[in-house]
Amino acid sequence: MSASRARITGLVYLLYFLTAILSTTLHGPKVAVYGDVLNVVSIACYVAVTLLFYAMFKPVDKSLSLLAALLSLAGCAVQALSNYHLIPPHVSPLIFFAPFCILIGYLVIRSTFLPRFLGALMVLAGVGWLAYLVPPIASHLSVYLEALGILAEGLLMLWLLIFGVTPRRATTGSSLKR
């Protein structure tokens, strides 16, 4: 993946963040429809990020990249359906997004074009999202788990936006030197 394509991924990721945040802040009868529209746009942005991540990490491990993409797309579908109350409220999109974050983190760690600390943060965020699904843990740690998820995804987004990816290194042990 080229640095410019990685920056495009970062830009789409930023659009997702902005539209998701705005959609949750617009309440009330006069602006609720804008919140609904922004919610649909944020889900569409995350679908795009998912597909861009699939392309980015396919050279690292095609099967895991595909599995991550399928999990994220399932999470996007659950999110979209739950916004319109078309699925039971106990079905959380985090069931899919948590393993997606773990897999993306693993793929970042295995890659030679992104820093490993970003992958470690994504794995921790995924584990945090899984913990968020357990009510006793979520009730005590929800703020911290949300902060960890936002930090991990936000740093990955900023890295892609600002730095892109480094060119692939030769496979003769160079990935061990990082």
The answer to whether residue 173 is domain-embedded is: no
Question: pLDDT category, 132, cuts 50, 70, 90?
Answer: confident
What's the pTM value of the predicted model, to 2 decimals?
0.89
Q: Output 18-25 pairs: Cβ under 8 A, ≥24 positions apart.
A: 19/45, 20/46
- Asked whether residue 174 is domain-assigned, the answer is no
Q: Where are the beta strands (DSSP E) in the chain?
A: none
Domain count, the chain: 1
Which range (21-30, 31-40, 86-95) has the least confidence? 21-30
Residue 176 in domain? no
Residue 105 is assigned to a structural domain of this protein: yes
Task: Report pLDDT digits (tens) over 37-59.
Answer: 999 999 999 999 999 999 999 99
For residue 34, tell me if it sits in a domain.
yes
Residue 158 lies in domain:
3-168
Q: Looking at beta carbons, which pairs linking 28-37 to residues 24 or more positions away fall under 8 Å?
A: 36/83
Model pLDDT, residue 178: 44
